[in-house]
Chains A and B, each alone.
Chain A
Amino acid sequence: MRSESIIKPSSLKMGIPNLEAFSNTLQNLAESDNDIIVVTSDSRGSGKLVPFGEKYPEQIVEVGIAEQNLVGISAGLASAGKKVFAVSPACFLTARSFEQVKNDVAYSDNPVNLIGISSGVSYGALGTTHHSLHDFAALRAVNNITIICPADNYETEQAIMFAAASDFPVYIRFGKKPMPFVSESKDFEVGKGRLVREGKDAVVIATGETVFPALEAAQYLEDNHNIQIGVVSMHTVKPLDGGLLKELAKSYPVMLTVEEHMVNGGLGEACAAFLIQSGFSPKFKIMGIPDEYTITGSQVEIFEHYGISGRGISKEILELISL
């Protein structure tokens, strides 16, 4: 069964891919700051950084297909005062070079900005080698790194500007398909989730490209079942916004998390661990990619298959509410 999006929340304006929003933001930053350095591993094309390289040839460093080297060299550059953006597919950046991230960046406190492009299952049918469904789990277990997964162009721009100005390591991951703006409010702050839709019956805590299907589900449930769903864009996976989680747990009897990540070790488990240790026990469900060999398909098909869609999320919420 191939289902279409059920409802397009009508007020949402379409944007460009977060990848392009990233590249544009970086060019703007480099215009006034020649300490901005982009380091790529034969990834300037897939990172939409060809224009950056043409405009600022002195500010792009190529290391070839060598992700360990990408991160090690980036750490060295950062230690000498450069504002470094190490750009590589999220799958390789956080697995092949995991030890360099752990030791040379996080442990050594070299403020490299690690940019994981085409994250999650963006590469679709290219398969598991190219999926990053482990990156939150891996990096959550590393001290001294902020993890951000922006939902839309606005959150991406803000995250990149935050990273350029920060003096500590930041990991930002996003996909490559055009994304709608999930809210009109300009209230992005690292470490603070955004309540992009208010509700009362249940709340969906989503991150990155799963915020939009959560909004679709909310619209569908309001229109068809008179159920009011809150939606949070939890763009910062670490440090987690515990204050907001507590407020949500007080207001909503049903909580559901959605992420483009394996259900193990990601946003959902982080929220669950925080809530239960804070004395809350809402009806709770973690949605993501299950612990199995991921089905073959496009990103959209993989999302649909595992219920990361307006229809799938609606179904889970209805089941949780009826428990």
Chain B
Amino acid sequence: MTEIELKLKSLEYRKKILRYIKMASAGHTGGSLSCTDILNVLYNRIMNVNPQNFKNNERDRYIQSKGHSVEALYVVLADQGFFPEAELETLCKYKSHFIGHPTRKVPGVEQNTGALGHGLALSVGTALAAKLDNLHFKVFTLLGDGELAEGSNWEALLAASHYKLDNLVVILDYNKLQITGPNAEVMNLEPVIPKFESFGCSVRQVDGNDLKELENNLLDVPFEKGKPNVIIAQTVKGKGVSYMENTLKWHHGVPNDQDYKLAIEELNNQISQLQKPQLHEK
């Protein structure tokens, strides 16, 4: 897959996220759009996991701690062939197995998450099992910034560092907004890098909506032998739709017909822009 094709995937994912949130009349729009690029790179460039090897204990694991951004995960898993995308039309509907938080009822989902502050300890345990069994899989977990106020994260980080889990990759989707407002006002996380460093992690800061930068850094894992890897991914909440970007309303806002039309138009324009140079090249 070329760089352009990868970028197009992010845009298609964003369109689908909005489509299914609109159909469900529910969802966490802003946070799903902020982490779309991270999931895109993980599933299309980095991780060794697919529907064929999903029962194999040596597969890479992705555990989404910020479970509310489940729409991004479902859309990417459908694209990876874990289930037919049309099933997402039932998202959050009566009797659907597509719950509004990650659930193992959906093929490809590793752990049931949704209560915040759980994914990191689950990931530590899984990464520790790999070390105990001399297996070489990696465990990737996506944390939200708001959930770092949960103390369980810091318990888990102590253990990650104590057990030298350099096969663990913690990615912080740092869009800086939570349901009540900016993290800085609700519960300040800063300075966040020294916090992770002081817990014994090897930390890198990247533009979390830059596919190439994400990929290059993820390919570098382990950053340092014997240290858990932390990627502070600077992202934009609502990324890709101008009126949603950095806007609190879109934490779990559902687009109406007009909003939706505008958003799809914007994303289609971005797709056209990307496709243009390709046509020139031919």
Which A residues are within 8 Å of any B CB, using their own CB? 37, 58, 61, 63-64, 66, 68-69, 71-82, 99-100, 103-104, 107-110
Contact = CB atoms under 8 A, between A and B. Distances in A.
List the 10 closest pairs (A to B, CB-CB), nearest first: A76-B125, A72-B121, A80-B129, A73-B125, A69-B155, A76-B126, A66-B155, A108-B112, A77-B125, A76-B122
Contacts of A80: 57, 125-126, 129-130, 133
A75 B114 CA distance: 15
Given A77-B129, A99-B115, A108 B121 contact: no
A287 B161 CA distance: 47
Contacts of B122: 72-73, 75-76, 79, 104, 108
A104 B126 contact: no
B68 interface: no
A77 B111 contact: no
B132 A58 contact: yes
Interface string B24-63: 0000000000000000000000000000000001000000
A71 B115 CA distance: 14
B118 interface: yes
Given A69-B121, A107-B112, A79 B126 contact: yes
B34 to A, nearest CB: 24
A57 to B, nearest CB: 12
Chain B interface secondary structure, helix, strand, loop or mixed?
A: helix
Contacts of B120: 72
B159 A69 contact: yes
Contacts of B128: 61, 73, 76-77
A76 B121 contact: yes
Contact of A76 (B114, B123, B151): B123
Contacts of A110: 111
Nearest to A78: B125
Given A68-B155, A76-B123, A100-B121, 20 more contacts: A61-B163, A63-B155, A63-B159, A68-B151, A69-B152, A69-B159, A73-B121, A73-B124, A73-B128, A76-B127, A77-B129, A78-B125, A80-B57, A80-B133, A81-B133, A82-B129, A103-B113, A107-B112, A108-B104, A108-B122
B2 to A, nearest CB: 35
For chain B, give the interface size range.
20 to 34
A58 B123 CA distance: 19
Nearest to A82: B129
Nearest to A84: B125
Nearest to A65: B155
Contacts of A100: 118, 121, 152
Interface string B122-165: 11111111101100000000000000000110011011001100
B110 interface: yes
B118 A72 contact: yes
A129 to B, nearest CB: 18
A204 B126 CA distance: 44
Given A76-B121, A76-B129, A108 B152 contact: no
Given A72-B121, A73-B159, A79 B115 contact: no
Given A103-B118, A107-B112, A72 B104 contact: no
Most interface-central of B111, B125, B163 (chain A CB within 10 A): B125
